[in-house]
């Protein structure tokens, strides 16, 4: 394992331990929402980071369509896969929080619905990739789907501005309200966010490297098979 | 094959979410007897999130080991080619 990789894993471990310590020991229990409010410390970073892959996919897919270099397709594919994981976990943790707070597991609120559409876009992207066998065609089609699907991420972020929603206000980003969080909660959210961000970055880098290595090995294997056939013919 | 299995699992999850939406108005008993009343929800949220990360890490590790296996097979194939050339 490379040194950078080890350092990154150690940093993730430290940040995760610190965030768990803050969430379960330091941060006070919310008076209104009770102990289930602590779900926010994992749900908010997961939900916010779910909106990063569409930006990556949009940029890398555009570059791929211009340059046709497989490395950009590898980044886009890895971003979608990690995005799907984060979106799935954000949906589940959000649903678990909603049950004691709103009384239902799920409601067709604009924020939740657009988020579910984002999840379906990620799934559609991966389904399109699994259908196509030709690597160039697969990368081209998925780049187009990736670009079109990324636009939906904007509706997720702006859903609370465009429609009436019961979802709590945004706490991170340009349209978030000032002092949306209590100072005692801010530290917990910040450390938890850093921990999950490190995990997010590490996972995307690792997945991209794996994707590139798989493509390269597949290409070498094809060349090797051709060589074996030419030797047999001789 | 494994990708298909995962995609089918995810599609099932989507159907489950829609089902929850359709049955969202069912009676719910919310316990508000104290600050720790909803502890099982907190436990479930963190357990599922961590389980998700672990399952994905396991999936990546299995892909990595498959790649190593492919490399080993290629190495053997190359050795066979080298031997056959030397014998000729």
Residues 170-209 of chain A whose Cβ lies under 8 A from any Cβ of chain B: 199, 203, 206-207
Side-chain-facing half-sphere of A223: CA atoms under 13 Å: 7
Side-chain-facing half-sphere of A211: CA atoms under 13 Å: 21
User: How many Cβ pairs closer than 8 A exist between chain A and B?
Assistant: 119
Task: Identify all chain B residues contacting A227, using CB atoms and an 8 Å cutoff.
Answer: 81
The number of residues in chain A equals 234
Interchain proximity B48–A92, CB inside 8 Å: yes
Locate the domains of chain A by residue range: 45-223
Residue A208, pLDDT score: 93
The Cα–Cα gap between B20 and B60 comes to 31
- Is residue A63 less than 8 Å (CB to CB) from chain B? no
* DSSP conformation class of A35: G
Average pLDDT, rounded, for chain A: 87
B30-44 pLDDT per residue, tens: 545 566 677 888 889
A124-169 pLDDT per residue, tens: 999 988 888 888 889 999 999 999 988 888 888 777 777 777 677 6
The Cα–Cα gap between B17 and A102 comes to 16
The Cα–Cα gap between B7 and B10 comes to 5
Task: Identify all chain A residues contacting B74, using CB atoms and an 8 Å cutoff.
Answer: 217, 220-221, 224
The Cα–Cα gap between B41 and A100 comes to 8
Which of the four pLDDT bands, split at 50, 70 and 90, describes residue B10? low
Question: Which residue is listed with tokens 């979106």?
Answer: A87
Residue A174 vs residue A122, higher pLDDT: A122
A3-30 pLDDT per residue, tens: 888 898 999 999 999 989 988 888 888 7
Which of the four pLDDT bands, split at 50, 70 and 90, describes residue B25? very low
- Contact between A49 and A196 under an 8 Å Cβ cutoff? The reply is yes
Residue B33, pLDDT score: 57
Residue B29, pLDDT score: 47
ipTM of this predicted structure: 0.84
* Phi, psi of B30, rounded to the nearest 5 degrees: -105, 120
Provide the shortest C-alpha distance from residue B82 to chain A (in Å): 11
- Is residue A118 less than 8 Å (CB to CB) from chain B? no
Task: Identify all chain A residues contacting B78, using CB atoms and an 8 Å cutoff.
Answer: 224
Residue A111 vs residue A177, higher pLDDT: A111
């Amino acid at each position: 394992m490379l040194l950078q990789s080890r350092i990154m894993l150690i940093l993730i471990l430290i940040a995760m331990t610190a965030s768990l310590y803050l969430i379960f020991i330091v941060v006070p229990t919310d008076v209104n929402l009770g102990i289930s409010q602590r779900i926010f410390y994992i749900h908010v970073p997961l939900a916010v980071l779910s909106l990063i892959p569409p930006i990556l996919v949009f940029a890398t897919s555009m570059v791929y369509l211009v340059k046709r270099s497989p490395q950009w397709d590898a980044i886009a594919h890895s971003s979608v896969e990690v995005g799907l994981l984060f979106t799935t976990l954000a949906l589940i943790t959000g649903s678990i929080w909603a049950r004691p707070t709103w009384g239902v597991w799920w409601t067709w609120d604009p924020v939740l619905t657009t988020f579910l559409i984002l999840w379906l876009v990620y799934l559609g992207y991966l389904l399109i990739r699994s259908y196509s066998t030709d690597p160039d065609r697969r990368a081209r089609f998925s780049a187009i789907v990736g670009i079109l699907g990324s636009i939906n991420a904007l509706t997720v972020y702006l859903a609370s501005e465009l429609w009436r929603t019961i979802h709590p206000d945004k706490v991170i980003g340009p349209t978030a309200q000032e002092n949306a969080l209590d100072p005692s909660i801010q530290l917990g959210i910040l450390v938890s966010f850093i921990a999950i961000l490190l995990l997010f970055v590490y996972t995307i880098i690792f997945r991209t490297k794996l994707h590139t290595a798989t493509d390269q090995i597949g290409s070498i294997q094809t060349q090797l098979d051709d060589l074996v056939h030419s030797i047999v013919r001789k | 094959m494994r990708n298909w299995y995962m995609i089918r699992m995810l599609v099932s999850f989507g159907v489950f979410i829609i089902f929850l939406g359709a049955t969202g108005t069912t009676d719910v008993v919310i316990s508000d007897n104290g600050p720790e009343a909803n502890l099982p929800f907190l436990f479930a949220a963190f357990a599922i999130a961590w389980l998700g990360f672990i399952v994905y890490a396991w999936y990546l590790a299995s892909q990595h080991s498959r790649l190593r296996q492919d490399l080993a097979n290629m190495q053997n194939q190359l050795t066979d080619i080298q031997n056959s050339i030397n014998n000729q």
